[in-house]
Structure 1
Amino acid sequence: MPNTYFQFKQFRVEQEKCAMKVCTDSCLFGAVVEVERAQRIMDIGTGTGLLALMVAQRSGAEIDAVEINPEAQQQAAENFAASPWANRLHLHPQSLQEFAKTCQHQYDVILSNPPFFLSSLKSGDKAKDTAKHTGDLLFEEILAFAAAQLTPDGKLHLLLPPAEAQYFEELATRFGLFMGHRLEVFTRVGGKCIRHIQTYTRVAAAAPATASICIREADAVTYTVAFSRLLQPFYLIF
């Protein structure tokens, strides 16, 4: 029987109650976003709590995390409590919309790996469909929250597939947020681009900076040096 958890070097993510499990692109996202100088961070749609835990390891920030799904709320609460950073991880078991009504904080960093399929057919699994499809958490709501709650120099980081990332970029300008950097994530050298990691600020750039990273070498087995360096503080195999 496979493990019901994913073991990292400094923490464990129990995930049997969550529809969306730990995945490689989310781990890369948690390892690459700029959080080292942040004093307060928001994780929108925390799920298992993976991203909040990763940025807690990488910073000294106070971290708020919102989650609407009851099973994921329980899982994240347990994962936070069992971590070395339990005193800095604050779970809010409610929707972003409800949290926004009473939020008193400004955030240096807001990050989200949100439900992203805009038009894909749903699977029939309610938990997975909520986690994957924009229904309860719309892009507009993420942008409205970021526009209201980011500090003047704050940054919004998103992990999205390429098509949805392009749509989000176009939408963001309506909220006074502009993409300053894009990291294109490829499955392997010579492979397919599966995700964009986007960074938004309140300042419009002449042209967003673009970089790329491949998770594996062309053999589709060996991790690349760039990926290995980023995940070395987290993965047991490095």
Structure 2
Amino acid sequence: MFSFKRFTIRQDRTAMKVCTDACVLGAYADVADESGRPARILDIGTGTGLLALMAAQRNPVARIDAVEVDEAAFGQARENVANSPFADRVRVWLGRVQAFVPSLPATADRHGAEDGIAGEDALYHRILTNPPFYTNHLRSPDSAVNRALHTDELPFTELVDAVQTLLRPDGQWWVLLPPHETSVLTQLAATAGLHPFRQLHLRHNDGKPIFRMITGFAYTRQAVQTETLAVHESVGSAYTPVFRALLRDFYLIF
């Protein structure tokens, strides 16, 4: 169990546990609707429901859908949402995002996406993704772990197709990946007209190489704004002031 300031994540039935880089994605990604309308946000592969709940805390008017293909993780995410202060604004769906059809809140059925309705009003201002990225690595005997870590269920090509289908023309897609996989995804996204506009490079400390990148994509091509975040100080294990400021609204220790 991982307790945050405003919600708790139980994770005993999920393959992917709460991790630092996912928390940075949830705190860093732009989840505001610049038009002033209530934002619609989609979390692809929600796992425990972490990103959906962080988005709900940061945007008090957003309506959030969270899609999860693993049944055990789906059940746990739904319980985590139900036990949070944001249960009236977050819906958890069981199924593959490749087949997901968005629903407007007034007509949505919590138990499946097949009854949803399409149309620009049902598309998303923001999409958040912490996708699986292993391809040829050794497999775990646990099928849920394989589903969470390997790209079999959600190849990058199918992920890009899903985002292109579900994202509004003026929307943003935020992705967390290692550097090499970020480069691969960026090339695929360009074929769909999606281009990076902002990127955060994550390091364990200033002396370590980049281990994750958080990239914001949009349909407009523009200069990429690049930032670097070190999680820990160069000496010792203390968190850096920048990391503390970013996660202050979530971590109990801050």
TM-score normalised by the shorter chain: which range applies? Answer: over 0.9
Amino acid at match of 2:142: D
Q: Establish whether residue 56 from structure 1 lines up as the match of residue 56 from structure 2.
A: yes
Cα 1:103–1:192 shift into 2, 3 Å: farther
Q: CA deviation at 1:103?
A: 5.3
Partners of 1:46 and 1:78 in 2: how far apart? 13
The alignment partner of 2:146 has SS state of: helix
* Map of 1:29 onto structure 2: 25
| 1:219 shift after superposition | 2.1
For the residue of structure 1 that corresponds to 2:249, the secondary structure is coil
Deviation at 1:168, TM superposition (A): 0.3
Between the aligned partners of 2:248 and 2:92, the Cα distance in structure 1 is: 27
Q: Which amino acid aligns with 1:178?
A: H
Q: Which residue of 2 aligns with 1:211?
A: 227
Matched residue SS, 1:147: helix
Instruction: String of CA shifts for 1:162-211, please: whole Å, max 9, x gaps.
Output: 11111000111111111111110001121121100001000112x42211
Query: What displacement does 1:142 show?
Result: 1.9
Q: TM-score, normalised by structure 1?
A: 0.94
2:250 maps to 1:234: yes
Contact 1:188 1:220 in 2 (8 A): no
8 Å contact 2:98–2:159 — kept in the other structure?
A: no
Equivalent-residue separation in structure 1 for 2:228 and 2:216 (angstroms): 14
Structure 2: unaligned runs, 5 residues or longer = 102-113
Q: Does 1:39 align with 2:39?
A: yes
Counterpart Cα distance in 1 of 2:238 and 2:52: 27
- Distance in 1 (CA, whole Å) between partners of 2:50 and 2:157 is 24
Are residues 123 and 230 of structure 1, via their aligned partners in 2, closer, same or farther at CA, if it must alter by over 3 Å?
same
Alignment counterpart, residue 154 of structure 2, candidates 119, 127, 137: 137
TM-score (norm 2): 0.88
**Distance in 2 between the 1:31 and 1:97 partners?**
26
Q: Which residue of 2 aligns with 1:84?
A: 85
1:173 equivalent to 2:169? Answer no
In structure 1, distance between residues paired with 2:142 and 2:236: 30
Asked if the contact 2:39/2:62 (under 8 Å) is kept, the reply is yes
Distance in 1, matches of 2:11 and 2:74, equals: 11
Matched, 1:114 2:131: yes
Partner residue in 1 for 2:106: none
Percent identity between the aligned chains? 42
Find the aligned partners of 1:97 and 1:216 in 2 and give their Cα distance: 37
Q: Distance in 2 between matches of 1:184 and 1:222?
A: 19
Quick one: which of 193, 204, 210 aligns to 1:193? 210
Aligned residues: 233
C-alpha distance in structure 1 between counterparts of 2:89 and 2:24, whole Å: 22
Q: Which runs of 5+ in 1 are unaligned?
A: none
2:57 aligned partner, one-letter code: Q
